[in-house]
Structure 1
Amino acid sequence: MTTIAVVSAGLSEPSSTRLLADRLAAAAVAALDVDPGAEVQVRTVDLRPLAHDVIDAMLTRFSSPALAEAMATVVEADAVVFVTPVFTAGMSGLAKSFLDVMDKDALTDMPVLLGATGGTARHSLALEHALRPVFAYLRAAVVPTAVFAATDDWGSDEAGALDARIRRGGADLAWAIGASRRQPQQTGVLPAVTDFAALLGDLRH
Structure 2
Amino acid sequence: MNRTLAVVSAGLRLPSSTRMLADRLADAARHELERLGDDVGIVHIDVRDHSHDLVNHLLAGYPSPELGRVLDTVARADGLIAVTPTFTASYNGLFKMFFDCVDDTSLVNRPVLIAATGGTGRHSLVLEHALRPLFASLRAVVVPTGVFAAPEDWAAGDADQVPLSGRIERAAAELAREVHGRHGPVADDPYGNPTPFDRLLRGD
TM-score range, shorter chain: 0.7 to 0.9
- What is the CA distance between 1:183 and its match in structure 2? 3.4
Q: Which has the higher contact order (CA 8 A, sep 6+)?
A: 1
TM-score (norm 2): 0.87
Indicate the residue corresponding to 1:49 in structure 2.
49
TM superposition shift of 1:185? 2.1
* Structure-2 residue corresponding to 1:75: 75
Partners of 2:22 and 2:177 lie apart in 1 by 18
2:120 corresponds to which residue?
Answer: 120
- CA apart distance, 1:72: 1.1
The 4+ residue runs of structure 1 with deviation greater than 6 A are: none
Q: Which runs of 5+ in 2 are unaligned?
A: 191-204
State which drifts further: 57-66 or 137-146.
Answer: 57-66
Bigger shift: residues 115-124 or 23-32: 23-32
Q: Answer yes or no: is 1:111 the counterpart of 2:111.
A: yes
* Aligned sequence identity (%): 48
- Check conservation: 2:77, 2:185, Cα contact below 8 A: no
Which amino acid in 2 is paired with 1:162? L
Q: 1:176 aligns with which of 167, 175, 178?
A: 178
Match of 1:200 in 2: none
Report the equivalent of 1:5.
Answer: 6
2:62 is paired with a residue whose SS is coil
Question: 2: CA distance between counterparts of 1:47 and 1:183?
Answer: 23
Distance of 1:135 and 1:129 partners within structure 2: 11
- In 1, Cα distance between the equivalents of 2:189 and 2:113? 21
**Helix, strand or coil at the partner of 1:139:** coil
Contact 1:9 1:92 in 2 (8 A): yes
1:97 maps to what in 2?
97
Contact 2:78 2:185 in 1 (8 A): no
Deviations 1:32-70 (A, max 9, x none): 2443xx521001011011111111111111111121111
Q: Please provide the CA RMSD for this pair.
A: 1.5
How many residues are aligned here? Answer: 186
Gaps of 5+ in 1: 189-205
TM-score by length of 1: 0.86
Q: Deviations over 1:67-99 (max 9, x none)?
A: 111111111110000000010010011000111
